């Protein structure tokens, strides 16, 4: 039985059209009129699917695949069975993604989960809010006074948009989000369950307990940012929290108050960036990276998964470990500890009196 799908291709493409779209070269031009109606991995692909092959370790899947066509690097073409049409291209996976973006354009930006057009009857929109034409507000969303929302933006079911928030055009605010004290640019996607613009974590401790530090700043989210589900981004205390243009943040990431994240950064799931830290343009944090307060990560720096950062990381380096250090140094230290562990274990396993026998 065919399984139902939430996303169906918007159109079909010939292999000639795929080649023109991706800059690929058809190995056999006679296949130019062949139609594909979807994309799939090698093991799931059928005769109407386009797949890709970029590593020989997947050769078994390639030879068993029923794909109609495959994007491959020039050096891998010889591995492709004759039944599969070949398109040679420098970067098979990037080309595969480009085709997917055309066929499944509706996956790139969340739509109304309720199929709403305009403002749902159960949504609450303050009389002083200003919404441009073609804004969609799903059921049970709440929009406060002095809010401004640009054309093409979708506010998901149950979302709360606090007083004075500004949201640009063609944005998506997912179901169950709360957005307070925040200015958002254009083409921003915020996935379900995010908490943005709440208090930063700031207290002064003393004999009488912990006294709350006023958090008077804002959150500024620039154009083309994407924020994964369940993220929290605190507003600034004395300055703004800033998420730079084109930055992509995975699910379950915590961004503290006063943090400045540069343009086109990548922050992977379960990472945390503590207050007043700075990430330069293009910095990359692997999964579960912890960045201490007032740290600086240089532009283009890459931190391996589960690293911790204290102080400063130079630009354009690859670091890892806890505390983070140059990745080659980190691996040398790991190997040395393992070597010492093996040698220590070998010494303990010697039978009693073995040393005396050797001396005799």
Catalytic residues: 257
Q: Which of 224, 233, 128, 130 is nearest to 170 (CA)?
A: 224
Contact 104, 10 (CB under 8 A): yes
Q: How far apart are the first and last CA of the chain?
A: 78
Instruction: For CA atoms 205, 206, 210, 212, give the dihedral sign.
Output: negative
Tokens of 311: 């102080």
**Whole-number Å distance between alpha carbons of 291 and 310:** 7
- Tell me how far apart the alpha carbons of residues 62 and 31 are, in angstroms, rounded to a whole number: 19
* Residues linked to residue 248 through DSSP beta bridges, in sequence order: 226, 266
- Residue 255 near residue 241, CB atoms below 8 Å: yes
**C-alpha span between 176 and 186 (Å, rounded):** 20
Helix axes 92-103 and 15-22, enclosed angle (nearest 10): 120
36 DSSP β-pair partners:
13
Q: In what order do the strands lie in the sheet with 49-53?
A: 25-26, 85-88, 69-72, 49-53, 38-39
Q: Which long-range contacts (CB under 8 A, 24 or more apart) does 166-172 make?
A: 168/223, 169/132, 170/109, 172/109, 172/110
How many C-beta atoms surround the C-beta of residue 26 within 10 A? Answer: 18
Q: Which residues contact 45 (CB under 8 A, 6 or more apart)?
A: 51, 65, 66, 67, 68
């Amino acid at each position: 039985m065919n399984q139902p799908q939430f996303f169906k291709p918007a159109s079909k493409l010939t292999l000639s059209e795929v080649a023109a779209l991706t800059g690929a070269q058809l190995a056999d031009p006679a296949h130019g009129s062949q139609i594909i109606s979807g994309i799939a991995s090698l093991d799931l692909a059928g005769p109407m699917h386009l797949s890709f092959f970029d590593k020989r370790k997947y050769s078994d899947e390639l030879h068993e695949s029923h794909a109609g066509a495959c994007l491959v690097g020039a050096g891998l073409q010889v591995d492709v069975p004759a039944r599969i049409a070949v398109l040679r291209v420098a970067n098979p996976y990037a080309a595969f993604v480009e085709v997917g973006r055309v066929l499944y354009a509706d996956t790139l930006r969340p739509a109304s989960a309720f199929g709403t057009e305009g403002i749902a009857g159960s949504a609450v929109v303050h009389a002083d809010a200003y919404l441009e034409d073609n804004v969609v507000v799903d059921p049970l969303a709440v929009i406060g006074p002095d809010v401004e929302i640009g054309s093409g933006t979708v506010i998901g079911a149950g979302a709360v948009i606090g007083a004075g928030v500004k949201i640009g055009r063609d944005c998506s605010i997912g179901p169950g989000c709360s957005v307070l004290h925040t200015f958002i640019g254009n083409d921003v996607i915020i996935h379900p369950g995010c908490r943005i613009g709440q208090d930063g974590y700031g207290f002064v401790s003393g004999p009488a307990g912990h006294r709350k530090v006023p958090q008077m700043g804002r959150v500024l989210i620039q154009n083309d940012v994407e924020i994964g589900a369940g993220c929290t981004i605190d507003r600034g205390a004395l300055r703004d929290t800033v998420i730079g243009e084109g930055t992509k943040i995975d699910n379950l990431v915590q961004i503290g108050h006063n943090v400045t994240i540069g343009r086109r950064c990548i922050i992977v799931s379960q990472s945390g960036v503590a207050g007043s830290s700075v990430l330069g343009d293009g910095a990359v944090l692997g999964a579960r990276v912890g960045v201490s307060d007032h740290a600086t990560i240089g532009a283009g720096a890459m931190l391996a998964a589960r690293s911790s950062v204290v102080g400063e990381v130079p630009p354009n380096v690859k670091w890892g470990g806890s505390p983070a250090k140059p990745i080659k140094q980190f691996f040398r230290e790991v190997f040395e500890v393992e070597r010492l562990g093996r040698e220590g274990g070998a010494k303990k396993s010697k039978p009693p009196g073995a040393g005396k026998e050797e001396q005799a």
